[in-house]
Amino acid sequence: MYKAGRPYHGRMISSPPPSSLHSLFEAQHRASRAQAEVPLALRRERLLKMRALLAQHGAALAGAVQADFGVRSPQLTEIADLFVLRTLLAGALKNLARWMKPVRVRTPLYLQPARAFLLRQPLGVVGVISPWNYPVQLALGPVITALAAGNRVMLKPSELTPRTSALLAELIGQSFAPEELCVVQGDGDVAAAFAGLPFDHLFFTGSTAVGRKVAAAAAANLTPTTLELGGKSPCIIDASCDLEQAALKIAHGKLLNAGQTCIAPDYVLLPEGREAAFAQAFERAVARLFPSIEGNPDYAAIISPRQHARLQALLDDARNDSARVQEIIPGNGTAAAAGSRQMPPALVFHPAPDSRLLNEEIFGPILPVLPYQSLDEAIAYVNARPRPLALYWFGTDAAARHKVLSRTVSGGVTVNDTLMHIAHPHLPFGGVGESGWGAYHGEAGFLRLTHQKPVLAQSKWARGDLFYPPYGRRFDQVMGLLKRII
């Protein structure tokens, strides 16, 4: 068994042949059709298995994530991956019986004395394609939600975190029958074949560009999807805010996992003339959070040399466009060692409007800073771009806050902090427009992966015959009465 802190030498499962992929799906599909009603006891049993898996192997999973990143502290995985999953499990186990109950629906007078209700049933087989940035939370979070809803689940984790994916496959294989929950490993070709399976629902977390391909593949089978994508999440700093506190919270949200977070602040809008004060406050915040960068286990490495090179290219492009780049290296100011992927934070002032920094999701520790002259200008800037996954506002002016909240649309919002709306177990989490569609967490996720079947139970005292042909005077009288009372 894998031990935290040690290299993982377990067998990496090679890409399955298409026949194997279809066989796994067919087994789950048959099982889901043979057991359309999944009782509370069985759902709880599956959730308790997942809770035991995390309790017994959380340290090993954190070690695998650390090995995949090169530098990423187990404590970061504990708070950002494992703790979030534990809260999801606790909420599901506590509320599952209530969520599963049929929901009574009021019946209008003209259909009485019939009764109506919604019967909450599993969809069947749910596919989950998860990313690399939080490879445990974003893999198992949708899985937990799907199991709570009574579904069978096939999981395709990221090939960019192979140790974590292999360990997930091993642990899930030990705890679950493959017709309940299984893991499929492989590269992008496997992910494409996976997305083309005729699931009852397909859940994808990743980039907007790949999300378009997943949606297109699912559409061929009329498979409904939940897409948790990314986008340019803004931070709006109001003139009324405490800049020191705002800078600390923005630095934490931006630099958690070195900016490799889908809801990380992607750019800052602040009142014109406060750029220097913000830069100083942000530099102090970085030094407080990360007294050093190179070799600091709390400051995650960029996931791969390719991603590191992409981020460096964004900075080079900004410099070539005459933007001012302020790299922040706290402590003794030692530059990164050769080959290091621990990338220092950087503020970028006056980036060109058509720059890649302002038009691509950054997904790294680079933060453009854009001044505005009026709040209306800041709101217009946000609204002129695709709707973001998250929006952050800092200030004490209630009227200004209401203006921003009412005149912008985003997947979620945190006021006077960053990231924290995702930690609330009863708030739906999801995007809107190009940042995705569908939401999960809590009851919202349960309902997303549940079919609410409408049922009308007719009474033996029903007089539906009043509406039968042949139509005549009696029909006209009945319809005349209904027109007056509805």
Structure tokens at 219: 């559409």
Residue 228 falls in the annotated catalytic set: yes
- The structure tokens 């001012």 sit at 324
Residue 244 falls in the annotated catalytic set: no
Q: Amino acid identity of 166?
A: A
Residues in the chain: 486
Distance CA 314, CA 251 (A): 19
Structure tokens at 402: 């209401």
Q: Are strands 267-271 and 234-237 parallel, antiparallel or unpaired?
A: parallel
Select which of 228, 283, 361, 434 is catalytic: 228
CA atoms within 13 A on the CB side of 8: 26
Q: Could you tell me where the beta strands, DSSP code E, fall in 102-200?
A: 103-105, 115-122, 125-129, 152-156, 181-183
Distances (CA, A) of 327 to 252, 346, 425: 16, 4, 36
Structure tokens at 433: 């427009």
What's the start-to-end Cα distance of the chain, in Å?
67
CA atoms within 13 A on the CB side of 38: 26
Q: What secondary structure does DSSP assign to 415-468, as a single string?
A: ESSSSGGGG-TTS-EE--GGGEE-EESHHHHHHHTEEEEEEEE--TT--GGGGP
Q: What secondary structure does DSSP assign to 276-291, as a single string?
A: HHHHHHHHHHHHHH-S
Kind plus residue range of the DSSP H or E element containing 226 = strand 225-228
Distance CA 33, CA 200 (A): 11
Select which of 235, 262, 275, 443 is catalytic: 262
- Residue 187 burial (CB count, 10 A): 11
Distance CA 287, CA 103 (A): 53
* Nearest by Cα to 155 from 67, 38, 24, 2: 24
* Nearest by Cα to 149 from 28, 45, 38: 38
Q: Which residues are catalytic, by number?
A: 228, 262
